[in-house]
Structure 1
Amino acid sequence: MAIKKRPLSPRQKMINLMYVILMAMLALNVSTEVLEGFSVVEDSLRRTAQTATDENRTLYADFEAQMKRNPQKVRQWFECAQQVRQMSDSLYLLADELKQAIVCEADGPDGDVLNIRKKEDLDAASTVMLTVGSGRGEALRQAIVRYREYILTLLPDSAQQRMVAQSLSTEPSAEARAVGKNWQEYMFDHMPVSAAVTMLTKLQNDVRHAEGEVLHRLMANVDMKDLRVNSVSALVIPESQTVVRGERFSARIVMAAVDTTQNPQIFIGGRPVQLPGGRYEALTTRAGDFTLSGFIQMPNGRGDMVRREFSQKYTVVEPSATVSASLMNVLYAGYNNPLSISVPGVPVTKIQASMTGGTLQPVGPGRYIARPTTPGSEVAITVTSTNSGRAQQMGRFAFRVRRLPDPTPYINIAAEGGGRSRYHGGALSKAQLVGTDGIGAAIDDGILDVPFRVQSFETVFFDNMGNAVPVASQGAHFSARQKDVIRRLQRNRRFYVSRVTAVGPDGIARKLNTSMEIIVK
């Protein structure tokens, strides 16, 4: 509700001026006939106070209606208005009671405030208000002070504060201080009944006026912190734009209001950003879970900046596709089979997997080591997702378990240009032969590279008569006898490495059926 400052009407200005003139005449000890003029001022003040009371009653009715429509929004100001109402009525009724007491002191128990007989009585007001022990002037002053201080806390405008503070002032004037009088003595000591009643009516008028100023401010506060909008749209805000079958799709459906005439200030990471149309875009460079957070602010109806924090989580996943060959779903028993597991649309941090017939160990985001135990069996890997906050099975995949194939023996020799290379047979210089310690074995087919530990082998040489002469090794190394025979071999003579026994990572010892032919250059 908008606030418009209400200027004093000509009638109110006239009443105030008459009050000042009559007080001045009273100070000059004019004749009692002049006191009749106070009745005119008192009547005008009483009607003005009644008009203000009616206006305030309308505002209270508006408060009650809004409280019924939106109690959460209005409750704070409604309760404050009720406190103002209670304090205003209390001070107003106190002034009414004092007026009646003063008139009855002057005219008797049947005294009527609206028909004062002894208007010129100079003792009634002093008796009621200033009698030692029973005078009520100090109580009135304290009630005005409490009311004024409370009202001023509800008026943020300095001009309104000054106006209310002046109208409800209880500070003695300079003239009163000059003669050593306090506020209540200056107001009621030897004051004619008609003047005392008029001053109390003016107090009631000031109370209703201050009450109205506060009520207008409180009513404005109901809408003051609201943001002004001129466009309303319906928005659907999903918690996730990627949903796996079987999960729940969750979204908030809200009515969003915007002001197209002004752009809010948006801060991300503590820095202001310009977002045309409020649309935020950022290039994603890596996968993972991220949070977009910051705050947005814009002025409300009072000009104060309204700030709201925001935070939105989102997930970036790697582009992925899964291609599987049905005939090649094979795992090797006793071997650390590397696996990569992913679910499109689900971050790898929210994927779990388990395996039957062996162990499945995670070694990194989306990477696992599968180690089945029994060749010839079948194992199953089950993949679950916790992307929706609960575990959901995403698939079950079967693999056949095979024994590792036999390795191929080789001689590890120095390669041209540095490094080492695996020699699997053919021509080889005597120097290279003598320079090597023994043989190795491995599955090296371009896909697997599985080293085996050689336990023993034998070399078969041929003498001049063509007879085969087998010589046993010393574990994986050439024995002294084998090396001695190699040194005495002539060029183009050949021998064989055979009967190799090797143990793989599965712990199974096997005799290799293959042999390696070596020709001495």
Structure 2
Amino acid sequence: MAGGKETPRQKMIGMMYLVLTALLALNVSKTILDAFVAIEENTQKSNVMQVDRGSEFVSDISNEIASTRGKENAQKLHKLKKVMKQMKQVDQLSASLIQEIDRVKLELLRESGEETTIIKPEDKETIIWEKGKDCRPIRMNLMAVQAKDQYDIPMHILVGDDIKNPTGKGKMIWEHYNNFRSKLIHAVGTYKEGKNSYSVNPKEINSFKDNKDLKRQVAQMLRSSHVNMRDDEEILSSIYMNLTKQERVTQNDIEGVHWIGQTFDHSPLVAALASLSSMQQDILSARSLALAHLKSKVSTGEYSFNSIVGLAYGPEIANSGDEVELNVMMAAFDSDNQPTVTYNGSSFLGSEGKGIIRTKVGSSGEMVLKGTISIKNKSGQVKMEDWTHTVKIMKPQGTISLPQLNVLYKGYNNRVEGVASGYDQTILEGNGVSLSKDGNQHIAKVTTSGKTATIDIYGVNSVSKKKVKLGSFPFRVMILPNPDFFFGAAEEGGKISPLEKNLFSRYKNSPLDAKFTILNWELSLSSAPKPEKGKGNHLSDDATRLLRQGKSGTIVNIKMDYVGPDQIVRKKLASFVL
């Protein structure tokens, strides 16, 4: 085509060749389009998971409000309702922006000639599988989209004619996304607690050199507000950073390109929809973080239990002149807030949630020990309860001490101690539980499928061979509680190192000594399209490489199947922050 005289036919062939070349250059390969569809599908699944995770926190507080009664719990109920009010603010903000982005998605599809009125769950030929509701986005099937490579309409609706200064829906989404970021940290960080008032004055930070510079700017913004730095600084910083995007970038040697222009410029329809779903994922992840933080303020707030009672336990039988030891404690305790115990006119500060009293008993009859135990709530007010404990003296009687209190756990080696005072031999027999001797203790294994089991204690005189039943003790039968999960040294919700490989689970604050094994795991990043899977307690090299790709502040989700000594396979979703 470069030289010589051409016939009309040759000129026509040359023109068709140029047109065909241009069309091929503009055409997006099916493989790439299918990759965007796969990314969108994984993002939608992750979004559903984040919606459910956040809603569980709201449900927990709602149930706590419903079960909190009585004048003694009035202060706790007030705080629960205050936290619920904050949670509703978070949900309203999140739902508003999620639904707005859904409306833009539907507009893109309609303008591209796609069918959006038909809803058929799991139908391969239908685009819309489920309607969106509240914070839950519309469930879409992009494989059914016909105009996957359509880019004119997304460009027109979201960007306009200038990638530096987007117009229309793209500009609206950008503004509302940044407003959501400001309103969200204001809703989480603005409240009253006792005599103290805290507030956040958000500023728009959309320009930064790197994550370190962004973190510095966010910290400066928070410190210039009246933020509860001890309790809220880290979570407010994480939420803000996770929702922050660089507004201006250099793209193809063009400086000052807006994020909307960079993201949606000549973006195929399915890619534009996937990018919008990714924005929804950022919103829902921030919602989950915010709701988890608000819930933690109640579960570690006034008290971490519904009612507060004084508890004293120790031997119920003593011989004359013996020294007895009592453990006096709250039914549950906070290691950072120790109780004050009073007995016999004096008071002292306990440790590890309890106070230990030692005293000598009298010669006969029974001895009643009593006093008070008190603890301060987070507002500084004192909650006081009476405690009492009776010691019977010189009366043959059996007593059972179960280290894990009055519960027998299924599939677990429960350690049981029994003493028959006045007899030189002690025999334990179970109903619904098997007992085997282990030194001075017994191992109790639950055999019943019911909710209770009993252990009978007998005293035996080795000389007369007389066997006397001294008591029958009922125990509740329960399954083992779920353990806490750790990524290296970081607890769930904490900050992790991208170099860490070890996952494990254990009880953090429990006398139970149960071993849990992680069977398999699936690790995903909020910024990565594809999760990594593996087995056991150690991450694979591929998972480690995925972590290293994540930026500081990225949410890391790990789904796990694990099993304990009761052989029950359980599931867990844990989130951490890079």
Q: TM-score, normalised by structure 1?
A: 0.39
Return the index of the structure with the highest Cα Rg. 1
TM norm structure 2: 0.35
